[in-house]
Structure 1
Amino acid sequence: MVRIPLTPPAGRADLMFPWPVVTEFLQRTDAVVSPGTEHVHVDLDAN
C-alpha cells in the first residue's frame, strides 16, 4: 500500500492506494508528460 497523508489546516486525511494502482498511474502520466517537461504544460510558479 502507498499512504498519502494530507494535513491541511482544518484536519487530516490518510489516503491509501494499492501500489500497483499508483505504479500504473505514474506510468500513464509519464506517457503523457515526460519527466522534466512539466514546465511546458503547467506553470507551477504562477499565482
Structure 2
Amino acid sequence: MDSKLLVAIKSYIFSTHQTIFIKSTAFLGQNQSIQGILSALSHTIAK
C-alpha cells in the first residue's frame, strides 16, 4: 500500500471518528459511535 494512501485513510478514519463521537455523545451515547466507526471502516476497506 502507498504510504500517502495509508495516511489519507488514517486521517479520514480519525476525523470521521471525531465527528461521530461528538454527535453520538450529544444524542445517543457510545453505541452509535462504535457502529459509525465500524461502518466507516468497512466503507474505507470496500473502496
* TM-score of the superposed pair, with normalisation by structure 2: 0.37
Q: Higher strand proportion, which one?
A: 1
Structure of higher RCO (CA pairs closer than 8 Å, 6+ residues apart): 2
**Which has more helix, going by share of residues?**
2
TM-score, normalised with respect to structure 1: 0.37
